[in-house]
Amino acid sequence: MQTKITVDTKGMACPMPIVKAKKALDNLESGQIMEVLSTDKGSVNDFQAWVKQTNHELIKHEEDNGVYKFFVRKK
Amino acid sequence: METIGLKGMTAGELTKKVLDNTELFILDVRNDSDYDDWKIEGATIESINVPYFHLIDGVDDVLDKIPDDKEVVVVCAKEGSSVFVAGQLVEQGKHHVSYLVGGMKAWSEHLEPVKVGDLQDGGSIYQFVRIGKGCLSYMVVSNGEAAVIDTLRMTEVFENFAKEQNAVIKHTLDTHLHADHISGGLKLAQHTGAKYWLPPKDADEVVFNYNQLDEHAEITVGNTKIHIQPVYSPGHTIGSTSLIVDNQYLLSGDILFVQSIGRPDLAGKAEDWVSDLRNTLYSRYKRLSEDLIVLPAHFGKATELGVGGKVSARLGDLFKENPGLNMEDEAEFRKAVTENLPPQPHAYQEIRQVNMGKITPTDEEQRDMETGPNRCAIHDK
């Protein structure tokens, strides 16, 4: 899986992880993949809801030592 | 980056408005599953849900939904997103908009003290309404002494209130081992040198010392000998114990609520406890005076809030009106309390472990565990 961009939002609180992610995604082309790093626990539910409702694809998300990683493919 | 002119509304201020029946419009910007699960409700509250991630590039989509003739409060989980959205609304000229300070977390933790009534030989009983989660605690105050029943995690609220009443907390009691919220009973007792009481049948696995709350226990508050009489009333848990205070009030724990009855499944033993629950409600409680004022440990709906937020009802009236007390057929009762129950309270198994003293999560973890409504009644859909 080739990610086009990594958006680091570690340490940021809601709503900034999704604000930053959305801005980055706006600049990608359809089919490209973005990786987002977050330490905000609430971001897990929010990312899933956001991606679903905006018809992008959440390829996977994982947690490593308190850091959440989301891989989103632009629709 | 707070917008100039943007105001916060505290959970306490919002509570007052809900209880005063002030017309309010709530824009809840959490994601839809969180909103559907748990939200701010009240008789005069209108609320809509638009997740904040739809409002990142601007609030044009919601502007025409925001009424101009009543106060608007933007709400999210912790505060951040509501500040973000409310700020944009203010910039668009909506000056009657504020955000909920501390979000749903603060809403969940706010306690509103309400006086229930006076005791026969002086003294008073107070109810503490945890409006966001639907939990109810009580303080009996008499002649400089106090007892706290079903203490919540926010123990400083009870300590401060007792101080204002010039009372020393002598006893803390839990009517049962709670599954929906973390008890503050032991912690408050340790802080104030009080005795902590718990029904022994709920305490098989607890890892701390406690006093046995059973029908032999004699508990008085103040010189006026205000009697707290335990009544063994299993069903929600095997140890559930109700308390008759001053021959006037029946603190029913999670057995009997104003508009529903307790669920028997939170300790994993629904089938086993159905007959206990039925006996308690249809026999033991039936033998008590109909004039007792029932004070439950929870409410499930905003419609259960009475004047000033007080949640109470006369026992005789509940025997007439409460659907849980009016199922003549045992099979129908069994079905109602074991099938189609609402979802369990969030993290209820871990919460029981905390209340047994087996695990000790951080404050932040405890806050997260208590997210959501209490859901201790069979009708809390």
∠B4-B5-B6 over CA atoms, to 5°?
95
Q: CB atoms < 10 A from the CB of B232, how many?
A: 17
Min Cα–Cα distance to chain A from B16, Å: 28
H/E stretch holding B49 reads strand B45-49
Residues 6+ apart with CB under 8 A from B317: none
Instruction: Tell which of B1, B31, B59, B84 to mutate to test the A interface (max A CBs under 10 Å).
Output: B31
B379 pLDDT exceeds 90? no
Q: Cβ contacts of residue B82 below 8 Å, gap of 6+?
A: B29, B52, B74, B75, B76, B99, B100, B103
Angle at B99 between CA B94 and CA B102, to 5 degrees: 170
Write out chain B residues lying below 8 Å of A42, CB-based. Answer: 77-78
Q: Domain boundaries in chain B?
A: 7-107, 111-369
Query: Which among B34, B81, B368 has the least Cβ separation from residue A15?
Result: B81
Q: Which residue has the higher pLDDT, B101 or B3?
A: B101
Q: How confident is the model at residue B1 (pLDDT cuts 50, 70, 90)?
A: low
Nearest residue to B243 (alpha-carbon basis) of B233, B143, B66: B233
Between B249 and B2, residue with greater pLDDT: B249
Residue numbers in B near A16 (CB within 8 A): 80
Tokens in use for B262?
């307790």
State pLDDT tens for residues B264-302: 999 888 888 899 999 999 999 999 999 999 999 999 988
Q: What is the 3-state secondary structure (H, E, C) of A19-36?
A: HHHHHHHHCCCCCCEEEE
Asked if A22 and B32 come within 8 Å (Cβ–Cβ), the reply is no
What confidence tens digit (pLDDT) does each residue in A16-74 have?
Answer: 999 999 999 999 999 999 999 999 988 888 999 999 989 999 999 999 999 999 999 99
CA-to-CA distance for B80 and B242, rounded, in angstroms?
Answer: 42
Among A3, A4, A5, A14, which one carries the catalytic annotation? A14
Tens digits of residue pLDDT in B170-198: 999 999 999 999 999 999 999 999 999 99
For each of the domains in chain A, give its residue range(s) and CATH number, in order of start: 5-73 (3.30.110.40)
SS3 category, A40: coil
Structure ipTM over 0.85, yes or no:
yes
Query: Is B61 in CB contact (< 8 Å) with chain A?
Result: no
Q: Residue B4: pLDDT above 90?
A: no
pLDDT digits (tens, 9 = 90+) for B319-331: 999 999 999 999 9
Q: How far apart are CA B378 and CA B30, in angstroms?
A: 27
A13, A41, A50 ranked by CB distance to B53: nearest:
A50
Q: Which member of B6, B76, B114, B217 is catalytic?
A: B76
pLDDT of residue B380: 66
Determine which of B56, B57, B79, B82 to mutate to test the interface with A (most A C-beta atoms within 10 Å).
B56
Closest residue by Cα to residue B315 from B346, B341, B288? B288
* Whether B281 contacts B255, CB under 8 Å: yes
pLDDT given for residue A1 in this prediction = 79
Scan residues 9-48 of A and list those with Cβ closer than 8 Å to B.
13-16, 18-19, 22, 41-42, 45-46
Q: Which of A13, A18, A41 sits opposite B53 (nearest CB)?
A: A18
- CA B262 – CA B244 distance, rounded (Å): 18
Which residues lie below 8 Å from residue B329, measured CB to CB, with a gap of 6+? none
Instruction: Give the tokens for residue A63.
Output: 């947690």
Q: Clarify whether B135 is annotated catalytic.
A: no
Encode pLDDT of B119-173 as tens digits: 998 899 999 999 999 999 999 999 999 999 999 999 999 999 999 999 999 999 9
Quick check: B283 contacting A, CB < 8 Å? no
In angstroms, the Cα distances linking A47 to A58, A59, A69, B300 are 8, 12, 10, 30
What is the CATH code of the structural domain delimited by B7-107?
3.40.250.10
Q: What is the pLDDT of residue B8?
A: 97
Secondary element (H or E) of residue A73: strand A67-73
Read off the pLDDT band of B83 (50, 70, 90).
Answer: very high
- Contact residues for A47 (Cβ-Cβ < 8 A; gap 6+): A17, A18, A21, A36, A38, A58, A61, A68, A70, A72
Alpha-helical (H) ranges within chain B are: 11-19, 32-37, 60-63, 80-91, 103-109, 155-164, 185-192, 270-279, 315-321, 330-338, 348-355, 363-369
Report whether A9 contacts A40 (CB < 8 A).
Answer: yes
Among B11-15, B91-95, B139-143, whose mean pLDDT is lowest? Answer: B91-95
Gap from B76 CA to chain A (nearest CA, Å) = 10
> What percent of chain B has a predicted confidence (pLDDT) above 70?
98
- How many Å apart are CA B206 and CA B357, to the nearest integer? 6
User: Could you tell me whether strands B45-49 and B71-75 are parallel, antiparallel, or unpaired per DSSP bridges?
Assistant: unpaired
As a whole number, the mean pLDDT across chain B is 93
Could you give the percent of chain B with pLDDT greater than 90? 85
Tokens encoding B240: 């559930």
In CATH terms, the superfamily for domain B111-369 is Ribonuclease Z/Hydroxyacylglutathione hydrolase-like (3.60.15.10)
CB within 8 A of B239, min separation 6: which ones? B176, B177, B198, B199, B200, B201, B202, B203
Tell me B377's DSSP state: B
Query: Is A14 close to B78, i.e. CB distance below 8 A?
Result: yes
Convert the pLDDT of each residue in B213-232 to its tens digit. Answer: 998 888 999 977 777 888 99
Secondary structure letter of residue B3 according to DSSP: P
pLDDT digits (tens, 9 = 90+) for B248-274: 999 999 999 999 999 999 988 888 889
Pull the structure tokens for residue B82. Answer: 């509501």
Q: Please report, in angstroms and rounded to a whole number, the separation of the first and last CA atoms in chain B.
A: 39
